[in-house]
């Protein structure tokens, strides 16, 4: 056995030991917490998941520039789309502080923080368009990536999240999905305004 081969086998053994140790630790943590979505991922899980996500995005996609030019109109478009499609899990401000965001596994990330903001436009687009397996993040993209203007528009708005104004947050409430109760209240209120006799109702909240 040549010295070079010995060194190669030694390095391989060290890497294999490290991988086995990491998997063993993750298995132990999983055994301790079971399959509960309430558990917090360990720092090792988070680091490994981010690294695997990075590797899973093709190099060309990671470096793809945003083909949609930014403008006030595009940001308004992104605001409406985010409020209607994304805020249920991520909250209007991107914090992830919603009933769903807090209770999926892993928890919905705070999109305002560096872990998300440091991603390239191409990486953000890939996550929105394709989703992430084994998480609560669905694939929103329709058709071919080059035809998915909505996801590229959302990339621009995600960059805006750390600097949202109170007026923008208030505006987003108008586009949040309505609950069944709110829809029923609106329908009852419309019947009342048209002269129909209905039971006691609460005026619908302004969205």
Query: Mean pLDDT over residues 199-205, rounded?
Result: 58
pTM: 0.71
Query: Mean pLDDT over residues 174-188, rounded?
Result: 79
Residues 52 and 142 in one domain: yes
pLDDT, residue 199, reads 66
Distance CA 134, CA 166 (A): 34
Q: Which residue range(s) make up the domain with 107?
A: 41-176
pLDDT, residue 207, reads 44
Question: How far is C-alpha 58 from the chain's CA centre?
Answer: 19
pLDDT, residue 203, reads 53
Higher pLDDT among residues 178 and 183, named by residue: 178
Higher pLDDT among residues 182 and 50, named by residue: 50
Residues 150 and 162 in one domain: yes
Q: 132 with 196: CB under 8 angstroms?
A: no
Structure tokens at 156: 């621009």
Residues 131 and 199 in one domain: no
pLDDT, residue 15, reads 60
Residues 150 and 193 in one domain: no
Structure tokens at 201: 């109702």
Residues 80 and 127 in one domain: yes
Give the least confident one: 5-9, 35-39, 193-197, 199-203.
Answer: 199-203
Closest CA to 89 of 80, 100, 79: 100
Question: For residue 196, is pLDDT > 90?
Answer: no
Q: Give 205's contacts (C-beta < 8 A, 6+ positions apart).
A: 182, 185
- For 43, other C-beta atoms within 10 Å of its C-beta total 8
pLDDT, residue 68, reads 96
The count of structural domains within the chain is: 2
Residues 71 and 149 in one domain: yes
Q: 122 with 64: CB under 8 angstroms?
A: yes
């Amino acid at each position: 056995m040549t010295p070079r081969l010995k060194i190669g086998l030694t390095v391989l053994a060290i890497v294999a030991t490290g991988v086995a140790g990491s998997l063993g630790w993750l298995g132990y943590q999983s055994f301790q917490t079971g399959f509960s979505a309430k558990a917090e991922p360990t720092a090792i899980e988070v680091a490994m998941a981010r690294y695997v996500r990075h590797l899973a995005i093709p190099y060309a996609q990671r470096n793809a520039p945003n083909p949609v030019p930014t403008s006030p109109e595009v940001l308004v478009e992104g605001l409406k789309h985010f409020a209607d499609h994304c805020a249920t899990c991520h909250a209007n401000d991107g914090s992830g502080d919603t009933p769903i965001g807090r209770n999926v596994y892993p928890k919905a990330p705070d999109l305002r923080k560096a872990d998300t903001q440091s991603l390239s436009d191409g990486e953000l687009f890939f996550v929105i368009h394709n989703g992430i397996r084994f998480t609560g993040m669905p694939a929103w993209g329709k058709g071919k990536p080059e035809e998915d203007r909505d996801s590229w528009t959302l990339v621009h708005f995600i960059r805006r999240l750390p600097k949202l104004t109170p007026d923008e947050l208030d505006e987003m409430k108008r586009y949040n999905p309505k609950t069944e109760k709110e829809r029923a209240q609106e329908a009852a209120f419309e019947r009342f305004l048209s002269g129909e006799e209905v039971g006691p109702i609460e005026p619908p909240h302004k969205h």
